[in-house]
Amino acid sequence: MTMENAPAAKPIAPPRPKGRLRQALDSDIFYSYRRSPVTIVASIVAVSLILMAILAPWIAPHDPFNPASLNLMDGFTPPMSQSAFGDNWFLMGADNQGRDVFSTIMYGSRVSLFVGAMATLFAITLGVTLGLTAGYNGGTVDAIIMRIADIQLSFPGILIALLIFGIARGVIPANQQESMAIWVLIVAIGLSNWAQFARTVRGATMVERQKDYVSAARIIGVHPVLILIRHILPNVLGPVLVIGTIGLALAIIEEATLSFLGVGVPPTQPSLGTLIRIGQQYLFSGEWWILFFPAVTLVLLALSVNLLGDWLRDALNPKLR
Amino acid sequence: MLAFIIRRLAQSVLVMLFVALIAFIVFRYVGDPITAMVGVETRLEDQEIMRERLGLNDPVIVQFLRFIGNAMRGEFGISYRLQQPVTELILSRLPATLELAFASATIALVFGLVLGVYTALRPRSFGSAIIMAASLVGVSLPTFLIGIALIYIFAVELGWFPSFGRGQVVDLGSWRTGLLTESGIRSIILPAITLSLFQLTLIMRLVRAEMLEVLRTEYIRFAKARGLTQRAINFGHALKNTLVPVITITGLQLGSVIAFAIVTETVFQWPGVGSLFIVSVQVVDVPVMAAYLMFIALVFVLINLIVDILYYVVDPRLRVDGGGAGK
Amino acid sequence: MTEPLLSVRNLAVEFPTRHGILTAVQDISFDIMPGEVLGMVGESGAGKSMTGAAIIGLIEPPGRIARGEIWLRDQRIDNLPPEKMRKIRGRHIGMIFQDPLTSLNPLYRISDQLIETIRTHLPVSRDEARKRAVKLLDDVGIPDASRRIDDYPHQFSGGMRQRVVIALALCAGPELVIADEPTTALDVSVQAQIIEVMKELCAEHGAAIMLVTHDMGVIAEAADRVAVMYAGRLAEIGPVRDVIKDARHPYSQGLMGAIPRLGESLERLVHIPGSMPRLNAVPPGCPFNPRCPKVFDKCRTHRPATSEIEPGRRAACWLYPGVTEA
């Protein structure tokens, strides 16, 4: 584009053979990682938050869900201070029931991340399967699957999730609703996000399908499922990884939104969204920390995952930049 | 042109039928309509009589057709929760939602366009870097948190705007508007900004990407080589070409403003259709859920149709090719 | 002797990249006389388009003119502020691009693009500008110009669009037109017509042409003088007949070895072994030395400047006395 209307571009020097590690460290992906301080910070933040969530039961200073360890007298203790009545010290303050906000955040991130990750996995599984099927078979199957994906893509995920949630409420008997709530949420969020994956995978599959090695495999009678898994799937993993990362951030936000709206996880298992919903009630009366810290955690989590996804997209496909 | 519109219309009808099927399934099979209407205490024989009278024993396909027929007349039954006709309920709350959606769509469009063009024309400036960083943060911020933050800053701390509700409203026939009173205007500002931010970010990024793309094209180089002014190139040639793809996606985004309003309406206790829907989901008020679904689908289909026609008007290439080359 | 219309002196164009600075054009000098057609020939990447872009001031950043001067009559134009340079583009120097399919804004009528350009440079009313535009379209050979002027670009064929492009480049009456591979993207059948139209019209308007191409056939057909570029440098420049008949630089000799008929592509016919070096790997000495059949020791260490070897002819080759070191 700059130099001439040139079909030039021949390699300057023949590639030297390298060890695997050197190759990895030399790769474009690692290069772009080192070159992007934002990405480095984002990955550190994301990993710390995820570790914090996973290790919550072992490292949390308090167990916010054990009524025995709670003291209502600790309620509304401000951050970085001693409770007025007990000898408990609270880094991020205590909420209305005297629960340590820091600990509820750790447990809350656990729920948020679990729901987000499971929902994304569900969406990937569903989307990739349907995308492969549509792309490989073509014809009517393809038309039906993609038409449904199109319709769904034009509606916001949150609306679809709400609808699925409402339906589940009507169908599941009342006494099981609480225990099923998390799974309903996962299915609802997953079902509202599969279409992106299906669309991408279908496109890539249709391209791969035309290639000689796939035709060859088909001619010698390899089972279609085997062809899909062994030959086509690896080729579509890159884009799936990118959409999956950004999808995880979306799923976390979606879960928080649903929980905030009061149609998410049950109050006995609060996620970050639930904590924000609770904290909102105390915003006007000055107990800002009950809302503030969960909100910051949620934003950090969503933002860092989003940034990683953004970087991944640029690194894997510089042309999209 | 006519063939193009007819084909689009046919597609829209298909989409509506598909959504109607889902709405019907929800309406008919989620919970039991009879127990929802009369309570479990009614004698089984009476329930059976009602069932027969309401046509719930008819073949499914007959029920579905009846559902569609009713839907086309705007009848969705009685809300379980409020014991009022659903259509009446939705219509009474519609103005609030539409005004909110309209206000935020305007904000999103104006600022999205201006900021997108700015960041595309000055890609290396400090201002652009700030805007782009802010936009990435904006995408990661859940709408409800933005709403809460705005309430805290501008309503609680500064006291400039009310934190909830629509303010004073005026009846214009059957349309209850909040745009004619000062308190109404003040009330709509925060929710409108909240609702607009996500779309604003999207529109801005889209405009920027498209415009950067257009600025690299050969016809822009040729325009420069002819000595046209920077203004004519940037705001004439480049912007016009940018707008073609932007119109499509922006149009579709504006449709989702109405659906996204669910969250904003809840945060600001805005008495619109969205908050009605949330409560209905919480208590499984099936007729309202079904009707809302149909309503949103209708909005989407209409917007889609308008966007398609607009696209057709803007791009001369589609007009002459007889509409076959679209999208 | 008349004054040259355009003088390029020791021009160098550079591109800073991640791996250091690339020199796309190195130390080239030439003149274009009023009304003259100067052919600029060379392989892809030899720097001919870049020279054209430098003259009209449209080098894409981060590329830049690193050294040298460009004069349009008695005005130096390589260092003008952007707004002054803009007024020269279109008005004094016009440009025709390679691909007519992408050169025209698809959303603007032909009439709007022409009238806009004319009125940017000339103080005429809309109606006058339109009359002028119709006349121009007629001149470039668009049938039924007064009606077709209100069509959109996609309603024209490739050849017709290139005629529109020529009309656009000429509409404000420039004295110099830079035609960058104006026929490469076209069907062979219309290439000759386009060259013909361009030549005729420029002659009529008294405009000089700098005709950039890799097609020796086009040059032979249309140019008065030819400049041969190699690896960002001027290998040889002289009257087109002399260079074709009796090329001095071994590279031009190879190039002239077989002049194809108009329309055939050059690259296949060059029978010089090897290929042009990449800009970041130009060898020391004469850049052509690894491929030159007549290479000797001096060529590998000393770089020849493009020097006068007989009146009206210059070449950069140690074979000739009087060639100095660059």
Q: How confident is the model at residue A243 (pLDDT cuts 50, 70, 90)?
A: confident
Q: How many A×C Cβ pairs under 8 Å?
A: 32
DSSP strands (E only) in B131-290: 170-172, 175-177
A4 vs C49: CB contact, 8 Å cut-off? yes
Q: Quick check: B152 contacting A, CB < 8 Å?
A: yes
**Is B44 within the bounds of a domain?**
no
Query: What pLDDT digit, counting tens, does each position of B227-256 carry?
Result: 898 889 889 889 888 888 787 777 777 777
3-state secondary structure of B264: helix
Residue A6 · residue C44 · CB < 8 Å: yes
pLDDT at C265: 53
**B32: amino acid identity, one letter:** D
pLDDT digits (tens, 9 = 90+) for C74-100: 899 988 898 999 999 989 999 998 888
CATH class for the domain made up of A99-320: mainly alpha
Mean pLDDT for the stretch of residues C267-283:
72
Nearest alpha carbon to residue B228 among B67, B219, B183: B219
Would the pTM count as exceeding 0.80? no
Percent of chain C residues topping a pLDDT of 70: 95
Chain C contact probe: residue of A2, A28, A31, A35 with most C CBs at under 10 A: A2
User: Is B152 a domain residue?
Assistant: yes
C neighbour chains, 3+ CB pairs within 8 Å: A, B
Is the pLDDT score of B322 beyond 70?
A: no
* pLDDT value, residue A268: 77
* Per-residue model confidence (pLDDT) at position B96: 86
Task: Quickly tell me which residue has 């800002």 as its tokens.
Answer: A288
pLDDT at A71: 65
Q: What is the CATH number of the domain that holds B155?
A: 1.10.3720.10
Contact predicate A98/A73, CB 8 Å: yes
Please name the residues in contact with A167: beta carbons below 8 A apart, sequence gap of 6 or more. B26, B30
pLDDT of B203 over the 70 cut: yes
Q: What is the pLDDT of residues B151-181, one digit of tens each?
A: 888 887 787 888 777 777 777 777 777 777 7
- Mutation pick from B211, B215, B219, B318 vs chain C, by most beta carbons of C within 10 Å, is B219
Using the predicted structure, report yes or no on whether residue C250 has a pLDDT greater than 50: yes
Tell me the pLDDT of chain A averaged across its residues: 77
Q: Over 50: is that where the pLDDT of B325 sits?
A: no
Provide the pLDDT for residue A9: 41
Peptide bond into A78 cis (omega under 30): no
Match 């029920």 to its residue by tokens: B63
Mean pLDDT score across all residues of chain B: 81
Q: State the CATH number of the domain containing residue C184.
A: 3.40.50.300
The pLDDT, as a whole number, for residue A212 is 79
Query: What number of residues does chain B have?
Result: 327
C-alpha to C-alpha distance for B133 and B141, rounded to whole angstroms: 13
- Determine the average pLDDT of the residues in B264-271: 87
pLDDT at B324: 35
Q: What is the pLDDT of residue B41?
A: 66
Cβ pair C181:A3 closer than 8 A: no
> How does residue A139 score in pLDDT terms, banded at 50, 70 and 90?
confident
Band of the pLDDT at C11, cuts 50, 70, 90? very high
> Which pLDDT score is estimated for A23?
59
**Tell me: the pLDDT tens digits for B204-235?**
888 888 898 888 888 999 999 998 988 898 89
- Strand locations in chain C (E): 6-17, 20-32, 37-41, 64-72, 75-76, 93-96, 176-180, 208-213, 225-230, 233-239, 307-310, 313-315
What's chain A's length in residues?
A: 321
Pairing of strands C208-213, C37-41: parallel
pLDDT-derived band of residue A20, with 50, 70 and 90 as boundaries? low
Pairing of strands C208-213, C176-180: parallel
More confident residue, B321 or C3: C3
Chain C from 147 to 176: CB within 8 A of any B CB = 152, 154-155, 165, 168-169, 172
User: If you count DSSP H runs as helices and E runs as strands, how many of each does chain B have, helices first?
Assistant: 14, 2
Express each pLDDT in A301-321 by its tens digit.
888 898 888 888 777 764 443
C277 found inside a domain: no
Across the interface, of C104, C121, C154, the residue whose CB is closest to B219 is C104
Pull the structure tokens for residue B313.
């008007």
| Residue B110, min C-alpha distance to chain A (Å) | 22
Whether B219 and chain C come into contact, CB under 8 Å, resolves to yes
What average pLDDT does this structure show over A24-45? Answer: 75
Beta-strand pair C307-310/C313-315: antiparallel
Contact criterion met (CB below 8 Å) for C154 and B319: no
Is B281 close to A163, i.e. CB distance below 8 A?
yes
Q: State how far the Cα of B2 lies from the Cα of B4, in Å rounded to an integer.
A: 5
Percent of chain B with pLDDT over 90: 4
Quick check: C24 and A5 CB within 8 A?
A: no
* Count of structural domains, chain C: 1
Closest CA to C110 of C157, C180, C161, C186: C161
Task: Say how far apart CA B194 and CA B260 lie, in whole Å.
Answer: 10
Is A4 at the interface with chain C, CB within 8 A?
A: yes
Is the CB of A261 less than 8 angstroms away from the CB of B266?
yes
The Cα–Cα gap between C180 and C50 comes to: 10
Tens of pLDDT, residues B34-90: 666 666 666 777 777 777 776 777 777 888 888 888 878 877 777 777 778 888 888
Dist. CA B66–CA B24, nearest whole Å: 10
What's the CA gap between B225 and B239, in Å, rounded? 18
Option in C24, C98, C281 nearest A3 (CB): C24
Residues B89-104 have pLDDT tens digits of 888 888 888 888 888 9
**Which residue matches tokens 């055939």?**
C264
Asked if B294 reaches chain A (Cβ–Cβ under 8 Å), the answer is no
Q: What is the pLDDT of residues A54-67, one digit of tens each?
A: 877 787 677 777 66
Q: Do C280 and A3 touch (CB under 8 A)?
A: no
Shortest Cα distance from A222 to chain B (angstroms)?
37
B237/C105 touch (CB, cutoff 8 Å), yes or no: yes
Report phi then psi at A40, rounded to 5: -60, -45
pLDDT at C258: 54
CA atoms lying within 13 Å on the CB side of residue B163? 17
pLDDT band at A90 (very low <50, low <70, confident <90, very high): low
> Where is pLDDT greater, at C59 or B31?
C59
CB B316 within 8 A of CB C154: yes
Contact by Cβ (8 Å): B148, A291: yes
**Which pLDDT belongs to residue A321?**
37
Using DSSP, state whether C26 is helix, strand or coil. strand
Structure tokens at A308: 């990683």
What value does the mean pLDDT of chain C take?
Answer: 87
Q: Find the largest Cα–Cα distance for chain B.
A: 87
Q: A2: which residues sit within 8 A by CB, 6+ positions away?
A: C15, C60, C63
Residue A200's pLDDT is what? 86
Cβ neighbours of residue A69 under 8 Å, at least 6 residues apart? A62, A63
Q: Which residue has the higher pLDDT, A14 or A120?
A: A120
Q: What is the pLDDT of residue C94?
A: 92
Distance CA A295, CA A278 (A): 11
> Is residue B58 assigned to a domain?
no
Q: A7 Cβ partners below 8 Å, 6+ apart?
A: C44
Q: What is the pLDDT of residue C119?
A: 92
CB < 8 Å from A in window 231-260 of B: 252, 255-256, 259-260
Predicted pLDDT at A19: 58
Chains interfacing with B (3 or more CB pairs < 8 Å):
A, C
pLDDT at B323 exceeding the cut of 60: no
The minimal CB distance from A2 to the residues C60, C181, C184 is found for: C60
Res B130 pLDDT > 50:
yes
Cα–Cα distance measured from residue C158 to residue C160, given in angstroms and rounded to the nearest whole number: 5
What length does chain C have? 326
**Closest CA–CA distance from residue A30 to any residue of chain C (Å):** 17
C247 found inside a domain: no
Give yes or no for a contact between A120 and A244, defined as CB atoms under 8 angstroms apart.
yes
Q: B199, exposed or middle or buried, with CB in 10 Å at 0-12, 13-18, 19+?
A: buried
CA–CA gap between residue C307 and residue C228 (Å, rounded): 14
Q: What mean pLDDT comes out for the span C279-300?
A: 87
Q: Does position B111 have pLDDT exceeding 90, yes or no? A: yes
| 3-state class (DSSP) for residue B96 | helix
Which pLDDT score, from 0 to 100, does residue A98 have? 67
**Chain A interface, best mutation among B34, B140, B213, by max A CB count within 10 A:** B140
Looking at the predicted structure, is the pLDDT value of residue C266 above 70?
Answer: no
pLDDT at A191 over 80: yes
Interchain proximity A8–C46, CB inside 8 Å: no
> Distance from A8 to chain C by nearest Cα, in Å?
8
Asked if A6 reaches chain C (Cβ–Cβ under 8 Å), the answer is yes
**What's the domain range around C212?**
34-57+79-230
- Indicate if the pLDDT at residue B115 is higher than 90: yes
Report the chain A residue with the minimal C-alpha distance to residue C44: A6
* ipTM passes above 0.90: no
**pLDDT band at residue A3, thresholds of 50, 70 and 90?**
very low
**Contact call for residues C227 and C41 (beta carbons, < 8 A):** yes
| Structural domain that includes position B232 | 92-284
Q: DSSP assignment of B39-78, as one string?
A: -TTS-HHHHHHHHHHTTTTS-HHHHHHHHHHHHHTT---B
The Cα diameter of chain C in Å comes to 67
Residue B311 placed within a domain: no
- Written in H, E and C, the secondary structure of chain A is CCCCCCCCCCCCCCCCCCCHHHHHHHCHHHHHHHCCHHHHHHHHHHHHHHHHHHCHHHHCCCCCCCHHHCCHHHCCCCCCEECCCCCCEECCCECCCCCEHHHHHHHHHHHHHHHHHHHHHHHHHHHHHHHHHHHHHCHHHHHHHHHHHHHHHCCCHHHHHHHHHHHHHHHCCHHHHHHHHHHHHHHHHHHCCHHHHHHHHHHHHHHHHCCHHHHHHHHCCCCHHHHHHHHHHHHHHHHHHHHHHHHHHHHHHHHHHHHHCCCCCCCCCCCHHHHHHHHHCCCCCCCCHHHHHHHHHHHHHHHHHHHHHHHHHHHHCHHHC
